[in-house]
């Protein structure tokens, strides 16, 4: 049984895999103040839900964009499971070539997404990840991570709007039934949701034109992917656990070489 952990700025997602089968996944808040023991207890609680003991966990893989939490999760897994987790970086042998001007600037989550997307679809494939930031990335036909675009995430856009505009306020992040809002709540929701859809579809269209060949598939993942699916003209499938899937694949690729 493998623990896969994707640590983001807002949430951390924990997955349990039995070989390639996902047993369960859980979304936790990413708190800078969380202690090593709190992490250990959270992981134990997840394992308890599946009647698993610490001895049933044979490995762990982490992708993270929060260095302080990377260290905390690393220490917690070492302490509670006696395991040295795989911490994914641009230097990890992931099965893809990182074709990026400054490879160490590529987030581990973007690499894991690309590995999973390529395993599922081949390439060229576009991956849209709705996290604290929205990333739109491409993996090529011959297995190269080519880079992509980064934009403010849905929550970040909403928080920035309410912070900077004195007469606007936080609203629930729901997709409105129409774009022509008839009150402030509807108007903000329409601007955020349909504005995000327009951003995604434009980026996907421009990236496709720059690629100069048909894109095999456009996949979305992340907490807000469900909100725009069906509204976007370009997103074809949602895979909520794409990053975890990539971590699991990378772990087993490396284990098979040892």
Residue 257, pLDDT score: 62
Residue 87, pLDDT score: 96
Residue 183, pLDDT score: 87
In a shared domain, residues 202 and 163: yes
For the cut 50, the answer to whether the pLDDT of residue 70 exceeds it is: yes
Report which of 222, 241, 242, 247 is spatially closest to residue 4, judged by C-alpha positions. 247
Which residue would you say has higher pLDDT here, 172 or 90?
90
pLDDT band at 32 (very low <50, low <70, confident <90, very high): confident
In a shared domain, residues 124 and 228: yes
> Is 226 strand, coil or helix?
helix
Count of other CB atoms within 10 angstroms of residue 74? 20
For the cut 80, the answer to whether the pLDDT of residue 171 exceeds it is: no
Lowest mean pLDDT among 74-78, 105-109, 158-162: 158-162
Is 7 inside any structural domain? yes
Report which of 88, 128, 114 is spatially closest to residue 5, judged by C-alpha positions. 88
* Cross-strand pairs, 16: 3, 24
In a shared domain, residues 79 and 126: no
| Averaged pLDDT for residues 230-249 | 95
| Averaged pLDDT for residues 185-212 | 91
In a shared domain, residues 120 and 220: yes
Per-residue pLDDT tens for 119-141?
A: 999 989 999 999 888 999 999 99
Which residue would you say has higher pLDDT here, 86 or 177?
86
pTM over 0.75: yes
Give dist(CA 83, CA 31) in Å, integer: 23
| Averaged pLDDT for residues 174-202 | 87
| Averaged pLDDT for residues 11-20 | 93
Domain count, the chain: 2
Is 245 inside any structural domain? no
Beta strand segments in the chain, E? 2-7, 11-18, 21-29, 59-64, 86-87, 97-98, 125-130, 133-139, 144-152, 217-222, 237-238
In a shared domain, residues 52 and 111: no
For the cut 60, the answer to whether the pLDDT of residue 167 exceeds it is: no
* Domain membership of residue 138 as a residue range: 97-240
Give dist(CA 39, CA 206) in Å, integer: 41
For the cut 90, the answer to whether the pLDDT of residue 198 exceeds it is: yes
In a shared domain, residues 74 and 102: no
What residues are labeled active site? 109
Domain boundary among 64, 87, 110: 87
**Percentage of the chain exceeding pLDDT 90:** 70
Residue 166, pLDDT score: 45
For the cut 50, the answer to whether the pLDDT of residue 192 exceeds it is: yes
Report which of 94, 73, 92 is spatially closest to residue 83, judged by C-alpha positions. 73
| Averaged pLDDT for residues 230-247 | 95
Quote the tokens at residue 106: 């590529």
pLDDT band at 72 (very low <50, low <70, confident <90, very high): very high
Is 150 inside any structural domain? yes
Give dist(CA 70, CA 85) in Å, integer: 10
Which residue would you say has higher pLDDT here, 4 or 191?
4
Greatest pairwise CA separation for the chain in angstroms: 61
Q: Could you tell me the CATH number of the domain that includes residue 44?
A: 3.30.420.40
In a shared domain, residues 233 and 149: yes
Is 258 inside any structural domain? no
């Amino acid at each position: 049984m493998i623990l896969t952990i994707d640590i983001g700025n807002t949430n951390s997602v924990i997955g349990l895999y039995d070989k390639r089968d996902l047993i369960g996944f859980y979304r936790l808040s990413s708190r800078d103040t969380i202690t090593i023991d709190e992490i250990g207890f959270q992981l134990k609680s997840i394992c308890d839900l599946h009647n698993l003991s610490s001895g049933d966990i044979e490995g762990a893989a982490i992708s993270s964009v929060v260095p302080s939490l990377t260290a905390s999760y690393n220490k917690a897994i070492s302490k509670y499971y006696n395991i040295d987790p795989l911490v994914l970086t641009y230097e990890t042998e992931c099965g893809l070539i990182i074709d990026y001007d400054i490879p160490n600037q590529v987030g581990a989550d973007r690499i894991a997404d690309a590995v999973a997307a390529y395993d599922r679809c081949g390439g060229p494939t576009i991956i849209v990840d709705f996290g604290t930031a929205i990333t739109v990335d491409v993996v090529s036909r011959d297995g190269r991570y080519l880079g992509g675009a980064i934009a403010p995430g849905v929550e970040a856009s909403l928080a920035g709007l309410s912070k900077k505009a004195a007469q606007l306020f936080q609203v629930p992040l729901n997709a409105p039934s129409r774009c022509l809002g008839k009150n402030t709540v509807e108007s903000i929701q329409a601007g955020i949701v349909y504005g995000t859809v327009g951003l995604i579809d434009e980026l996907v269209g421009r990236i496709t034109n720059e690629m100069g060949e048909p894109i095999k598939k456009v996949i979305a993942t992340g907490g807000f992917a469900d909100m725009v699916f069906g509204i976007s003209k370009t997103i074809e499938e949602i895979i909520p656990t794409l990053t975890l899937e990539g971590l699991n694949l990378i772990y087993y690729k490396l284990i098979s070489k040892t």
